[in-house]
A and B are shown apart, each in its own frame.
Chain A
Amino acid sequence: MQTSVSIRDLSLNFGHVKVLEHLNLDIKDGEFLVLLGPSGCGKSTLLNCIAGLLDLSDGEIHISGKNVTWKEPKDRGIGMVFQSYALYPQMSVERNLSFGLRVAGMKKEEVDKRIARAAEMLQIEPLLKRKPANLSGGQRQRVAIGRALVRDVDVFLFDEPLSNLDAKLRADLRVEIKRLHHRLKNTMIYVTHDQVEAMTLADRIAIMKGGVIQQLDNPHAIYNKPVNLFVAGFIGSPSMNFIDGTLAGRVVKADGIDVPVDRYDFAPETGNFSGDIVLGIRPEHVMVGEAAASQPVQFESELEIIEPMGSDTIGWTSFAGQTFKFRCDSEVPLEEGQKLRLGFDPARASMFDAQSSERI
């Protein structure tokens, strides 16, 4: 498939601070790529570079086969949606939508046609005459999306578009963005720090930390086969259990307990690893009570704290002397202080080299 956005060897410095360094990224035509990471990881900076709002220190950016490194934002074929909506406050919704088209000197009939189409798609027809101040947060963000929509661009850039909305609206608009992507089939690059948004929307997720892409893969692989400790700890809520231990042969020794890991899917190049490791088990992969009986690894532990979430319950126990969380159905009867039988399958676990924190 043709690439839509290619980033070659991109570096960006603010003075002596290196924000991005030799970053490479290829985004396929029509792909929904999410840049995910904690604040300050450079994801918004990268998006601003793609948009042409920041000058690069080094490297190239290609969009739709053209080198746009030195091009103005308007000549890059991009539309951008901001976290704070950035609607022009003194213009009506209609004029907000048409601003870019008027700047480009487009004919009135064509402008009206495009606005009508965008307004229909986003269901904002009744709002066209209003000023942004008279819109709710969700409506404002729709208008902001519409402003990118009318310009008929190849690539949509979203800079944390849902972060200012409340939880319910966020969920609604998330689905709507996905629907929009299905309908338009444009390339979309979406920056967020919310892993739920990333997992639900993305074709591929690029997890960033300190200006470096840690892992670029589809949500399934990111969740099940995180490449390092950072990714493993960042994705998943509650976060993954990390158990320090030593790997020798096909057995992990942790605080005197032997955990057989024959079923673990070792990476080919690290198959014979031995030494200090971190064993990562997702709380939702831990079985409780009778269900634990079928699991290859089983142990007993005392339940310290229960966190009922409504849909499910998170229990805090310990394993091999280290904190261990599990997640189970809220119908499972639990009591703090009770002895519990827990089990997990090393085939679904992750193991990391304790020194390099890379997956083995």
Chain B
Amino acid sequence: MIGVSSVGLVIGLVCGGLALALGIYLKQLRPGITGFIVCTIAGFGCSIIGGLIALFVMAAVIISHAYVDRQDPFTSRAKLEEVDFSETTAQSTMRRLANFGNTVRVSWGALVRNKAGFIGFLGVTFFLAMSAFGPLFIEYEGSAQFSRRVDGARSLFQAPSAEFPLGLDWQGRSVLSHVVYGGRILIVTSIQAGLAATAVAVLFGSLAALMGGWVDGILSALANFILTIPQFPLLLVLASVIQFTDPIQMALLFGFLNWPTLMRAVRAQVLSLRERDYVEAAFALDLGLWHIISREVFPNMVSYIAVNLIFTVRTALYGLVALVVLGIVPLQEPDWGVMIFMGRSQGALFSQEAIWMMLGPILAIALFQLSLVLFSRSLEEVFNPRLRSGL
């Protein structure tokens, strides 16, 4: 999911090219160029997923620059005779895209103005970029570097030097390379966990509220159950019984443990929406569950969902590292948690030249978590106009 590849570069260039072409076509050169840069980087860093998401967002932004709202004759810059009150699917899609692009632009503006939030955003971007593009600049050292042994030295640890900015670890490997490479699996797994939790929560929450009855009963009871049992001990116990072979299993486990909070919120939101006429109408018109979720529930809750997603990512990252540090799950290098575990067992805490093996991952985890918090807090403000206005 994260990591550079030549295929990713091609994808990025294609997506960027599309964005640029769109910009030129719509005579919006500056957004077009921005779109080209963003899409190329995202595609290069995160391959097809990153490229497509970036393309979608940037296309919406470019369109929003060019879009002239035909719907409302009073605010529209269009001439009255141009206004057509009937709307084709294409037009309506266009309008929605433009709306979305507008929201992105407004939010971006709010984000940039919010100092803490912007720092958080930069931090998150930095860690994502480090995981994605770090390998371009720094080579991973997986095997022990016996040749770096200083004559007569008892261990291969070395203090930071010009050649190795964060020193060498117990196997004589560059600590920097492990810091750069050690976050990728953690970050990807946490994001997967967050996405899984969000998907389950939105689905279950809507289902529970819309279906009611025993479905609601069971789902709510399940949510209540998961919410009440203490998470980390449960995680420890589960990890001792389940043999994890793949990080995706960990992601699913964290997803499974983290959906209830959001699910309850979604359920309450849908319940209150249900009382509103248009939803009841939509329901009566049999427009379907998916329609209601995607058109009514999701847009109304996007800020809450985004904040919750980040929260789950943080929880998952916390748990993942903790399990590794305690040695409960298989240790697979490179990984910040494994660095802390090995640092502890190799006595790195007690010597000046070795301490960087622990400080590196400790600072990385702390800073990444902190960036997530700052980012999510400002997201609330960005999405929530009431907070934005200062109250």
Partners in one complex: no
Which A residues are within 8 Å of any B CB, using their own CB?
Answer: none
Which B residues are within 8 Å of any A CB, using their own CB?
Answer: none
